[in-house]
Amino acid sequence: MPVRIISTQQRVTAFLEGEIDHHTAAALRMEIDDAVQRNKPKTLKLDFADVTFMDSSGIGLVMGRFRTVQPLGGKLIVSNLSPQVYKIMKLAGLEKIVTLSKREDVNNAEIK
Amino acid sequence: MQKLNEFKMTIDSKSVNESFARSTVAAFVSQLDPTLEEISDIKMAVSEAVTNCIVHAYPQSVGKIYITAVILENNTAKISVRDKGCGIIDIKQAMEPLFTTLGGERAGLGFAVMESFTDKITVRSKPEKGTVVTMYKRINGRAVL
């Protein structure tokens, strides 16, 4: 599963693509943590716009990244979630530790 | 309930097969004309069951995972995922949300997801013999909309 990472000192943004499962999560974790350790950003953002499937390994990935940024004093934002993934993350109680936001409807975004 | 159609496959407990297993079962169940959401529910449940076999049943080795999907009357899919791995000593504890023996990156939500996204789940296990997870899901499909 590919991930594109844009890093600054302020913020690391990881654009996740494709399917997140136990198999793909390991490589994602390494790439994201590597960028976080190098930049020690104030904010880590995980962008789920191009994620087509996720199981509970995705929950583990988010919880694990929270534990990576927390000791550095950073915060975690998880954005562009599909309605179903948003629901699972809420069920897992992730909104208590990270900022979750749903995928914006493309049509509405254009009108705005 | 009468079996209308059946599909069986055996795969190695390699993580690269997680995506293959869920997509194949979802493709078989698609004959019931499920909605995209129902397909996604099935993929998620199968992914959790297969991942459990890989990380828990055969932690240090590669074993076989036996998957059976049956189409029953009433538009119901029955999916079984079986392994001959280490087994579960305390099934009730294993099924509690957030319980995990691995910690770290595992959320401990595998069984909770399987329960939430199917209609019924049964788990049978014997230590050192293996585990069978059987899930039932009725597909309402687009017909009722």
- The answer to the question of residue B62 being in a domain is yes
User: Tell me: the pLDDT tens digits for B55-84?
Assistant: 999 999 999 999 999 999 999 999 999 999
Interatomic CA distance for residues A43 and A49, integer angstroms: 18
| CATH code, domain carrying B36 | 3.30.565.10
The pTM for the full model equals 0.91
Range of the domain at B9: 3-138
- The answer to the question of residue B144 being in a domain is no
- The answer to the question of residue B38 being in a domain is yes
User: Which one of B44, B50, B100, B111 makes the best mutation probe of the A interface by having the most chain A beta carbons within 10 Å?
Assistant: B44
- The answer to the question of residue B143 being in a domain is no
Domains and CATH numbers, chain A: 3-107 (3.30.750.24)
In the β-sheet with B130-138, what is the strand arrangement from edge to edge?
B3-12, B64-72, B76-83, B130-138, B120-126
A93: left (phi over 0), alpha (psi -120 to 50) or beta: left
Total count of domains within chain B:
1
- The answer to the question of residue B88 being in a domain is yes
pLDDT of residue A1: 65
Interatomic CA distance for residues B128 and A63, integer angstroms: 31
- The answer to the question of residue B51 being in a domain is yes
Min distance A56 CA to chain B CA atoms (Å):
6
pLDDT of residue B63: 98
Annotated catalytic residue within B106, B124, B128, B142? B106
Locate the chain A residue with the closest alpha carbon to B36: A84
Q: Do A22 and B18 touch (CB under 8 A)?
A: yes
Look at residue B2 and tell me whether its pLDDT is greater than 80.
yes
- The answer to the question of residue B145 being in a domain is no
pLDDT of residue A110: 44
B21 touches chain A (CB under 8 A): no
Among residues of chain B, what percentage have pLDDT more than 70? 98
- Smallest CA-to-CA distance from B10 within B19, B21, B23, B26 is with B21
Interatomic CA distance for residues A62 and A77, integer angstroms: 9
User: Which one of B39, B52, B109 makes the best mutation probe of the A interface by having the most chain A beta carbons within 10 Å?
Assistant: B109
The ipTM assigned to this model is 0.90
Q: Do A60 and B107 touch (CB under 8 A)?
A: yes
Tokens of A99: 């900022």
